[in-house]
Amino acid sequence: MDKRVHYYSLLILSIVIASSLYLSWTTDRGLGDLTIERHIIEREPGRTVDFMIYSPKEPNYEGPLPLVLTTHGIAGSKEGMYSFNIELARRNFTVVSVDLPGHGDSLLSFELDDFENMALDCLAAVEFVQERENVDDSEYGVLTHSMGFQVSIALSHMANAPSTYAAVGAVADMGLGNEIQYPGNLLIALGEYDEMISTQEALEAIRTATGNESAEAGITYGSFENGTAYKLALAPTDHVFAAIDGEIVRAATTWLVRGVQGEEKLQYTRNPADQVFVYKVIAMATGVFGLLVSTIPLLAIIGPPLGGRPSGEESDEAPASTRDSLIISAIIGAVIIIIFGATSYATFILESVGLYWPNSMFATGMALFFIIATLGILLGFRLGLGKEGLRLVFRRAGLYRELPQMIEDLAKGVVVALIVIGWLVGWMALGGLPSQMEPWIVFSMVRYPVGMRFTNIIILAVLAIPFFVADTAWTKGLLFVDRNWNGKSFSKKILFSVAARLAVSAVAAGVMVVATTALGYIAGSMVLLGLLLMLFIIISALTTIVITFSAEYIRNPWPAILISSFILAWVVISAIPLI
């Protein structure tokens, strides 16, 4: 293929990435209507609170601006609450968005049920902002997502309690065993397809809160004046995407205007349907897609001259038939997810007795996963192909060579991988360094690593290398029977084998999440497991593409192995809270 195509592709993708960063940046500011500040305060010696303040530049409001606190759920961040932060600030609120311990910029230890300290952190940020002359210090509202609801419950018992509550994606204690006393002026906003909460559970919650056994969704019960207003709002979305669903954002912002500003202010505020946050959704999705896909033309440009001579055998001898490859691929897909779930559950047990990798929740489980999954793939090859078939797979993948040649391939692979990783981190630095951008222009799934997170990414990436060695053996050694990209047998084998693995993985992940929810295991740790499963499926698809591409175009497997290891570790460490 003409190299100019790769250069043009990289140029176009770079423009897409840069445009997405700018769109994300300007949307955060309400397309020019908002100002954003980043603050760090010390609530008590050694305990800092990271938060952002969103304010309208020209508020259409008489008197000091009312305040709303927003708190995220597990594996979230203050930046992740952007839909609510933007739309509330555009409706004459000063919005304080806080990072809970171990999330976002916070490097504090995260304790799953330490909601009182989390609430005190949030209250410290609220009272810091309430000292401003243009901010109302008499009352405030709170909007939460998922487990952030527990923080608002803790706040409701404090002297400076919120007057109005909007709980997105939560109705109860999330399996933590805490008794819930629903505060007044509460909106419960859920997705109809929430993986953790059924519609019936949501109805039971609103009926318990109102004391009305016939209460239904979509109706406001009680009144804001005497603190007895309750409502259940449902939208066609699920748990994760509830935070960026237009109907839920509209319901939550309207509720807070009614409860904090007053019913009469609805006629003066923006139309609830006038929303701009969706541009940031588009920007982040486009940006992360462009960033990750850009690794392919970049590999095509730097790979051949730096990757060395072709590795792997050119023999047309097939280690397995198309049918056998399909079966083995499907089994690998299922086994990997089963191992993922088992090692994650083992982490719960290890953490309960104090045996876990310090500073990173689930890292112990991920380390166990990489070890056991690697052995599982190799065992699958051994049982399915026999001893000679296993050797042939690794020879075909370029992973079974003379030691000097392996060292040379690895050294060249490290050079290529470092360039690609530098490309990825460089773009993230442009849109993610606090000193350069406020707030961080976070991409979906990943954020610029700070503090110990960067160290944890490197450690986890190293642990992931054996897994991707085995994965590369599956992709290149098992599937690539010939070198004819246009051959029907090759196309069918690649298409069906990759599809079988990813499809079975997705089904297995779905079954695992549904089963654990049905059994009542919906505590915060299981929520995080579901999130990691979803991210793992997405990254598996990406890394399979990268490995497939590099296997045939670069012929050196090591760049793809190292890049895939880094990307997976980056996504995992970005998603999990510190502990």
Q: Pick the residue with more confidence: 537 or 6?
A: 6
Q: Which residue has the higher pLDDT, 505 or 282?
A: 282
Residue 47 has pLDDT above 80, yes or no: yes
Does residue 245 sit in the same domain as residue 339? no
Same domain assignment for residues 54 and 189: yes
| Same structural domain, 206 and 330 | no
Position 558 in a domain: yes
For position 487, what pLDDT does the model report? 44
pLDDT in the model for residue 112: 75
Tell me if 208 is assigned to some domain.
yes
| 118 and 144 housed in the same domain | yes
Q: Is 127 helix (H, G, I), strand (E, B) or coil?
A: helix
pLDDT of residue 278: 95
Instruction: Work out the pLDDT band at 518, boundaries 50, 70, 90.
Output: low
Distance from C-alpha of 78 to C-alpha of 80, rounded to nearest angstrom: 5
Q: What is the pLDDT of residues 139-160, one digit of tens each?
A: 999 999 988 999 999 999 999 9
Of residues 156 and 306, more confidence is placed in: 156
Rg for the chain (alpha carbons), in Å?
26
Across the chain, mean pLDDT equals 82
Contacts of 284 (CB under 8 A, 6+ apart): 20, 24, 442, 443, 444
Task: Please provide residue 65's backbone torsions phi and psi, each rounded to the nearest 5 degrees.
Answer: -75, 135
Do 259 and 336 sit in the same domain of this protein? no
Q: What does the alpha-carbon distance between residue 153 and residue 167 come to, in Å, rounded to a whole number?
A: 10
pLDDT for 141 equals: 98
Query: pLDDT at position 535, please?
Result: 66
Residue type, 362: F
**CA–CA separation, 10 vs 74, rounded Å?**
36
pLDDT at 514 (0 to 100) = 64
Nearest to 465 by CA among 504, 509, 413, 541: 413
Q: Both 369 and 227 in a single domain?
A: no
Q: pLDDT band at 318, cuts 50/70/90?
A: low
pLDDT of residue 395: 78
> What element of type H or E holds 384?
helix 363-396
Tell me the C-alpha distance between 278 and 248, whole Å: 13
Q: What is the pLDDT of residue 86?
A: 97
Q: Structural domain tally of the chain?
A: 2
Does residue 41 sit within a domain?
yes
Higher confidence at residue 578 or residue 338? 338
What average pLDDT does this structure show over 513-534? 57
Assess whether 254 and 356 both reside in one domain: no
Kindly state whether residues 463 and 541 are assigned to the same domain: yes
User: Which of 297-306, 475-484, 570-579 comes out lowest in average pLDDT?
Assistant: 475-484
215 and 320 inside one domain: no
In a domain, 289, yes or no: no
Task: Classify 63 in phi/psi space as left (phi over 0), alpha (psi -120 to 50) or beta.
Answer: left
Tell me which long-range contacts 159-164 makes (C-beta under 8 A, separation of at least 24).
160/123, 160/126, 160/127, 162/69, 163/139, 163/227, 163/259, 163/260, 164/224, 164/255, 164/256, 164/258, 164/259, 164/260
Residues 36-45 have a mean pLDDT of 93
Q: How far apart are CA 143 and CA 458, in angstroms?
A: 35
Does the pLDDT value for residue 495 go beyond 80?
no
Burial of 159 (0-12, 13-18, 19+ CB in 10 A): exposed
Residue 363 CA to chain centroid, in angstroms? 16
At 343-390, the pLDDT tens digits run 777 776 776 666 665 555 566 777 788 888 888 888 877 777 778 777
Lowest mean pLDDT among 27-41, 195-209, 302-316, 463-477: 302-316
User: Quick check: 217 and 206 in contact, CB under 8 A?
Assistant: yes
94 and 42 share one domain? yes
Domain for residue 87, yes or no?
A: yes
Would the pLDDT of 488 be above 70? no
Which CATH number belongs to the domain containing residue 277 in this structure? 3.40.50.1820
Structure tokens belonging to residue 443: 């991409």
Residue 568's CB is within 10 A of a number of other CB atoms, namely 24
Highest mean pLDDT among 54-63, 169-178, 529-538: 54-63
Say which residue, 312 or 385, is predicted with more confidence. 385
Q: Tell me: pLDDT of 530 over 70.
A: no
**Which residues span the domain enclosing 142?**
3-281
Structural domain includes residue 298? yes
For 486-505, give the DSSP string.
Answer: T-HHHHHHHHHHHHHHHHHH
Residue 92 — very low, low, confident or very high, per pLDDT cuts 50/70/90?
very high
The answer to whether residues 184 and 332 belong to one domain is no
Please write the tens of the pLDDT for every residue from 181-227. Answer: 899 999 999 999 887 788 898 999 999 999 999 999 999 999 999 99
Domain boundary among 235, 259, 281: 281
**Count of residues in the chain:** 579
419: in domain:
yes
Beta strands in 45-121 (DSSP E): 47-56, 65-71, 94-98
Segment (H or E) for 300:
helix 295-307
Give the end of a domain, one of 281, 308, 332: 281
* Cα–Cα distance, 376 to 182 (Å, whole number): 47
Q: Choose one of 232, 248, 281: the last residue of a domain.
A: 281
The amino acid present at 99, given as its one-letter code, is: D
**Highest-pLDDT range among 96-100, 181-185, 443-447, 560-564:** 96-100
Q: Considering only CA atoms, which of 417, 183, 140, 180 is closest in space to residue 295?
A: 417
Q: Are 339 and 269 members of one domain?
A: no
DSSP assignment of 203-261, as one string? HHHHHHHHT-TT--TT--BS-TTTT--EEEEEES--TGGGGG-HHHHHHHHHHHIIIII
Q: Give the separation between CA 469 and CA 492, rounded to whole angstroms.
A: 24
In our burial notation (b when 16+ CB lie closer than 10 A, e otherwise), range 261-280 reads: beeebeeebbebeebbbebb
| Residue 528 pLDDT class (50, 70, 90 cuts) | low
Q: Which residue has the higher pLDDT, 267 or 380?
A: 267
pLDDT confidence of residue 310: 47
Structure-block tokens of residue 268: 């003066």
Rounded mean pLDDT, 422-426? 89
- Once rounded to an integer, what is the mean pLDDT over residues 565-571? 85
Which stretches of 443-554 are DSSP H helices?
452-472, 488-518, 524-553
Tell me: pLDDT of 82 over 90.
yes
* 449-483 residue pLDDT tens: 767 778 888 888 898 899 888 887 777 666 654 44
Question: In this structure, is residue 287 part of a structural domain?
Answer: no
Beta bridge partners of 52: 38, 97
